[in-house]
Every structure is written in C-alpha cells, then in structure tokens.
Structure 1
C-alpha cells in the first residue's frame, strides 16, 4: 500500500508563489495500476517526482512499506529509491552503452556481483521482449525498443513501485499499445504497483484500475476507471472522457438522422460489464410497440470490464416510449434523455 497524505509542493520566486501540488491525499493498494491524468501544468509530473524524492515535498507524508519517504534523509533515502523504479517520456538512456549495459547500470551502482548482474539483465531482456538486441546501442533502436530498455532498467533492482512519467507520449499509437500491454503483463507477473502519469485518456482506459484527475495542483476527482468514465463529476474529467466519446457535445449534429414523422426521444445509454454484450435493443423492440433508430455507439474495454455508450432515437407513443425507457433502466442500463423530438 502507498498512502499519500496531504502532500504539497510550493515553488517560490521573487515574483510569485506556485502551489504545484496542493494538499493531495491518495491511497494506492499493492499490485494496482493507478493513473494520474491532467492537462499541462496540472502538477502531475511534480507529483510523481515527489514520490521518489526527486523533489522534496513542502508538506505531507508519502508512506511506502510503512516508511515515510518524505522524512528520509541521505543513506536511508538512497536505499529506498532503489526500490522505486522510474521510466521517462524521453527514455534517458546512456547512448554510449549497449542495451545490456544500460540495463546493468543500476545493478553496478548497487554493487551487485557481475555473475548475478549478468543473469538478472538477461532475465529482464527476455521479460521485455528484447532478446537478440543485447549488443545494440540506443541509436540503433526504435522508440518502442528504447522504452523497453527503460522499463527493464527500472526493474533491475526489483522495485516494489514503478513510476511512469508520460512513458508513452513520445510513441506512435501502435507502439503505445504495445508498451501498455507490456506494463499490464509486468503488473500481473510481478504483482508490481504502477503509478502512471499521462494526459491521454486512452492510456487510462486501457491499463489502469483507478485514476485521479489533477487540476491546478489538486485532485479534483478520483475513483475506479469504469465509474469515472460513466459518471464524470468535474469539468476537467468530462473533457477527458469526451476524448473517447467525441459526440458527447455534438448531439445537435444528429438532427439529420432523426425522423420527424412521430414523437420520439433521443437517449444516451450507458452499458457496463455484461450488459455491454446484451442484445437489449432487440429485446425492447420485440417487447414494446416502439421503433429504435441507432444513431451512434461504441464499446471500450477497461481493466474492470467493458464500458459502452449508445445513442438511440426511440419512436412511438409517449407512454410507450416511457415504458421502453423504464424497461431499459430495469435491465441495469443507465438512461440519459438528451432530446425531445
């Protein structure tokens, strides 16, 4: 368990005081992939640098394995840092060293004997899928391969926590998915707690169990990814969710698809888990005297199950339309009426 309590970081200059991280409290269970998302300047990168003390906190506690990292000094802090791995957006590899030597570097610093070091490095190379590239230099690798080296290096000292600071931002979409799949695999194989900083909701959706949304140094919302997707509370969270549902604020563009020959309701349906696999629209049409026009929809997988959104027009007599909506709600699907036609 990582327990972060009332964590703050204040930067002071002659002209201003900046609360980069402002009274943040988060609990992260062991073995969880926890996402922190926010726009540029939200404080998320400062937050992750506080966790391994690349920045010193102004206030608060960072409890890891029953130790307050914020209170550690010099030698105890150095030893604790060895159990906190970190990967970066721009890889931070040693360009004059091979893949093998880059991964071995933290083991050298830790004083691990060469035989044990070589065995560990080869194990990590196999784990991250770099077999055959041991003697390559970073300049000979693709972006995804460089990040795999960075991940292997971060795992060299068997950390209990892996921090990822925008680890996929410099990668193309296909390579991003490959790296995210690798992180999920590592999380499952090693029961490793991962804290992932990003500004991309797709990354949160694909790999995280829970998420915190940051704005101006504060956590404005946190919870299970599935719940945050279905019922975003803050304006910032809603903007991020819109990245995955671009139609959210474009409902007026559906007018050309909506019929006007009889009364209808345009509704948005939220499907969660097994309900996303159910032929509910077909059921409603058979059970009740309504016609249903599907306008737009999507189903997205998350670590906690499938999440689907469907926009439909329900046509028929007003009382029967209400019966159809009640039938859908009784099936465990959330209904939001968007427009009366």
Structure 2
C-alpha cells in the first residue's frame, strides 16, 4: 500500500541545512495499522507529511496506493490526496461550521450534491459515534468529540489510507483509549490502512500491528509490535518499551528494595502470548528449593497477543538459583538479572 525508498528531507535554515528525514526505506502493507514513534525532533511529523506531499521530499520516492506521489502535480496530486485522509493533534476544524458541515466540507469540494452529502455525512456521524451532534459547533464539543469529527471528515471521500499526526496527544488517557478503539474499529470495518505517529508507546501497544522507531531522522528499529516489546535492540526502543512495562513507580520501588538485606537475586521475566497464562512460578517452587517473592507484574495486550513483565526476588543456594533461572529460560521466557547477579 505504501512504499518509501531512499526518502530524505533537508530544510535550509539561517543556521545551515537541517536533515529532518534521512535515507528511509519503508513498506506498509494494505490494511495494517503502522506506528511511527520518536521523541520531538526525530523527524516523524515530516515523514508522515511527505506521504501526502504536504512536504515534498528532497530525495527519494513515495508510492501510495500504486501512485508515485513524488511525481504528481496539480490536478493529479489533488486526486491522489482524496485517497489519503489525515487527522491532526489539534483537530483543525472550521469553528464557524457545525459538525455536519465540517464533515461535509471535503464532499463540497468534490462537487457532490446536497442529498449525496447528507447521506454520506449521516453515515459518518453514526460510524464515529456522534449521533445527535450534527448541529453542534466545535466549541460545544469535548476534545474527544472534536477528534471524532476530524476522523469523520478524513473518511468523507472513502480514502484508502488514514494518516494520524499525534492524533491523541492533546487528549486525556480515557479519551485517548476511546479514540484508539474507534481507529481499530474503522480499520476492521473498512480495511483501511492507518499510519500514525506518536511519542507514546501506549498508543503503539494498544492498536499497532507494526512499528518503526525514529531517531535523528532515521529509522533505527522496526518490526512487529510484540517482537519489539519482547526484544528491543536499540537503547531508544528500550526507553519507549519501558514507558509501558516499567512505570516510574516500578523503578522507584525496586531501587528501594535493592538496599534491603537478603533480597537475593531480582529478576525481570518477560512473557509473550500463551506464556502469560502459565503457572510458571508455581512450577519453579515445586521443582527447586528456592524462595520466590513477587515484587511487581503487569500484562498488556497488543494487536498480536499479550505481553507480560514480572519482577521477582529469588533466594536460595547459588547453584540451585542458577538451575531455576535456566529452567525458566528453557520455558521460552526471557530472563534478565537486574540485581544480585
């Protein structure tokens, strides 16, 4: 559905040339939800804006839905953009228009009749869960409702691709989850390819099939979300994974425990898929003469299955502890000794 080859973007500033996107190759499959994550300045916003040519690349090629976007001009580009919807962090609604009129705006530009516009707008209002709010103005809506209008408007022309530029970062956590659930629902109902950029790993974890991690204009790591959670290779990726698996309170609690006498080895166990359901700790205690204390644990769901992280303290004879750890690893569970190894 989307193919990027040798894509680069250089901005010429008073302080010299700034490379925002640097030699990126990327393929996004039809019907998948693909996430791009990175901190501010990583180049992700520039990257997503080059998919619909809001930013023209300095080098490289952009192909979307079979069309070479980087070669299109004027009318051809306008027609190609109708197959690419986009939603924004701050909604970009027309404040003097009602919900229905905002959604109808792309249909007016396309030249549809009033009756055709109304039929399509009614469909979209129902799809995004805004029944009864068609006559409201943006100032009368909550943040989540405004973003639902933005999503409906982006879907007006039945696009093949939906681009999401930090679409949930202005929303509270509960509203964020509701918008993400809506995007998953749209993806399933319409078979829509969704590309989203974010700096929040929670967003990636919740809805994305695959993810690319950006740093300094480059993609430093990419893969299936579950694989990235299980074995992050780059330090940047590990930082993002910790947003979900190791909240700040976990680190503080563990650091406090490290100072306690007799804490033993502190291990981080990582479970993926069906392994999260196994009574592994019970099995270890039955087979080995070790004492185990569960310090903290969490299971998260991704689009490809569950991911669990468990912190335990293990005490016992040194050789027995090693045998127990080897046994855990033999059960296809990742083990990292984070204290006392």
Q: TM-score range by the shorter chain?
A: over 0.9
Structure 1 gap ranges (5+):
none
Count of aligned positions: 338
TM-score by length of 1: 0.96
> Which of 240, 255, 258 matches 1:255?
258
Change over 3 Å in CA distance of 1:70–1:249 after alignment to 2: farther
Structure 2 gap ranges (5+):
none
Q: CA deviation at 1:94?
A: 0.7
* Deviation string, structure 1 residues 279-337 (Cα, Å, up to 9, x no partner): 11011111222111111211111111111111111222222212211221121111112
CA distance in structure 2 between the aligned counterparts of 1:302 and 1:254, rounded to whole angstroms:
30
Q: Equivalent residues in 2 for 1:220-299 (5 A)?
A: 220-244=220-244, 245-246=246-247, 251-256=254-259, 259=262, 264-299=264-299
Name whichever of 213-222 and 248-257 sits farther off. Answer: 248-257
CA distance in structure 2 between the aligned counterparts of 1:15 and 1:291, rounded to whole angstroms:
61
CA distance in structure 2 between the aligned counterparts of 1:64 and 1:36, rounded to whole angstroms:
17
The answer to whether structure 1 residue 78 and structure 2 residue 78 are counterparts is yes
Check conservation: 2:67, 2:80, Cα contact below 8 A. no
CA distance in structure 1 between the aligned counterparts of 2:119 and 2:290, rounded to whole angstroms:
67
Name whichever of 110-119 and 142-151 sits farther off. Answer: 110-119
Check conservation: 2:290, 2:320, Cα contact below 8 A. yes
Q: Determine helix, strand or coil for the equivalent of 1:57.
A: coil
CA distance in structure 1 between the aligned counterparts of 2:13 and 2:327, rounded to whole angstroms:
60
Q: Determine helix, strand or coil for the equivalent of 1:181.
A: helix
The answer to whether structure 1 residue 135 and structure 2 residue 135 are counterparts is yes
Q: CA deviation at 1:258?
A: 6.0
Q: Equivalent residues in 2 for 1:1-341 (5 A)?
A: 1-244=1-244, 245-246=246-247, 251-256=254-259, 259=262, 264-340=264-340
Q: CA deviation at 1:66?
A: 2.0
CA distance in structure 1 between the aligned counterparts of 2:51 and 2:247, rounded to whole angstroms:
34
CA distance in structure 2 between the aligned counterparts of 1:160 and 1:141, rounded to whole angstroms:
28
Check conservation: 1:258, 1:313, Cα contact below 8 A. no
RMSD after superposition = 1.5
Q: CA deviation at 1:194?
A: 0.4
Change over 3 Å in CA distance of 1:155–1:325 after alignment to 2: same
TM-score by length of 2: 0.96
Change over 3 Å in CA distance of 1:257–1:109 after alignment to 2: farther
Name whichever of 225-234 and 238-247 sits farther off. Answer: 238-247
Q: CA deviation at 1:57?
A: 0.6
Check conservation: 1:254, 1:295, Cα contact below 8 A. no
Q: Determine helix, strand or coil for the equivalent of 2:275.
A: helix
Q: Determine helix, strand or coil for the equivalent of 2:23.
A: strand
Q: Determine helix, strand or coil for the equivalent of 1:80.
A: helix
Q: CA deviation at 1:257?
A: 5.6
Name whichever of 16-25 and 110-119 sits farther off. Answer: 110-119
CA distance in structure 2 between the aligned counterparts of 1:76 and 1:209, rounded to whole angstroms:
31
* Deviation string, structure 1 residues 231-253 (Cα, Å, up to 9, x no partner): 22222212212222136765533
CA distance in structure 1 between the aligned counterparts of 2:266 and 2:261, rounded to whole angstroms:
8
